[in-house]
Amino acid sequence: MTANRRRRRRIRPPSNSSTRMLLVLRGTVLCTVFTLLIKADAFAFRPTDGYNMMRRRSFLTWDVLSGAVLLIATLGSSPPAHAAEEPPECRNGAIVAESQVPGAYQQICMELPTRTIPIQSTGDALTISQGTGTGTGGTGSVQGRTGVAVWNSSLLLTRLLDAISAQEIKQPMLRQGSSFLKGKTVMELGCGTGLASLAAAKLGASRVIATDGNSEVVQLTKFNIDKNNLVDNVEAAELKWGLLNAADFFDEADIIIGSDLTYNSGTWRVLAETMGAVLKPDGLVLYLSLGHSGFNVSGELGGFLSVVESEGLELIDESSDRWPFYMDGSVSSVSRLLSRCVSASERTVLDSNGGARVIVLGRKKRK
């Protein structure tokens, strides 16, 4: 998400319920070590063989001290923020209801320092740090820095990519029999925490470029790339939308992915310019938009589509010979795949805010 997203109120990280137990353990260990040291002294000064007993005292005391220091360090250190268990409603990358506050939206899972997101088709799980905790340099707030949290739209886009890959495992979905992501260069616009970019890498993309216009968000994405050991094929770059900045990535992307980018009509033109500049001539854009209370997702997308044609892009629908997804020689609907990605309770959450829509774009073919 870009930095000019709707404002959210200050978010406080969850409290650490294990602190009291750790203090008790530290006290117990210290008492035990003190007792052992007293016994070691008493044993070492027994008047038998003086020299050998002094050596025994030295070695025994050193062993006890070394072990005690290691044990105290292990038990005494506070667990990292991401070690806190996710509440049930947030587990497995769940999509949860948002609540509207003045000029903003929020939901409980945004308050977590870390979320764990499963990738079903590969059996992997991504660990995504949110910038709401001090462990990643955050201040506990997403106000004016909305890209530091995992949004429902990013979760849904990740699931869609996962579902496409899962279908490809069963049988090729593309008309040419190739993969949508495997071996491709993928660019995400407005990457936020980098979740969908990291998922694309796990699903076989050879190179992924995660971009965002907010430098703080880019740093968080780099943190998550490193955390998930994907530095070899995922890079994070700052990219402010517009033709001039996009020229640095001209014709690089086989696939562009993005979610929840069209909420601000003032950015439609520069977003379309960026897509048209970085996309290869035969490349595709997979874009997902999610409704929010007070925002009409169909109206939002309709307005954006009225702009893209003037920037050299066109909508590719299921009737087009460029539609990418086929199974058994028949058209495969992305909407149908999307509906399989959510539970009944999650569908209720999405429908209550206007649902979700997915579009596929491509560059206009020269006549």
Q: pLDDT confidence of 99, banded at 50, 70, 90? A: confident
Lowest average pLDDT, out of 183-187, 214-218, 291-295, goes to: 291-295
Q: Are 29 and 68 in contact (CB under 8 A)?
A: yes
Cβ–Cβ contacts within 10 Å for residue 205, how many? 26
Kindly list the distances between the CA atom of residue 35 and the CA atoms of 39, 40, 65, 332, in Å, as whole numbers in the listed order.
6, 9, 12, 72
Mean pLDDT value across residues 294-318: 89
The pLDDT tens digits for 54-80 are 444 444 444 444 444 434 443 443 434
With tokens 């109120």, the residue in question is 9
Mean pLDDT of 323-345: 80
Identify the pLDDT of residue 225. Answer: 98
Band (146; pLDDT cuts 50, 70, 90): confident
Of 220, 181, 202, 180, residue with least CA distance to 1: 220
Average pLDDT over residues 89-113: 85
pTM above 0.85, yes or no: no
The percent of residues in the chain predicted with pLDDT above 90, rounded, is 50
Mean pLDDT of 37-54: 46
84 or 179, which is more confident? 179
Average pLDDT over residues 78-106: 74
User: Cβ distance 272 to 244 under 8 Å?
Assistant: no
- Answer for the pair 220, 131: CB distance below 8 angstroms, yes or no: yes
Hey, which residues does 126 pair with through a beta bridge?
A: 117
pLDDT value of position 212: 97
84 in Cβ contact with 111 (< 8 Å): no
Average pLDDT over residues 218-241: 97
pLDDT at 327: 63
Q: Length of the chain, please?
A: 367
Mean pLDDT of all residues in 10-34: 45
| Token representation of residue 364 | 């206009």
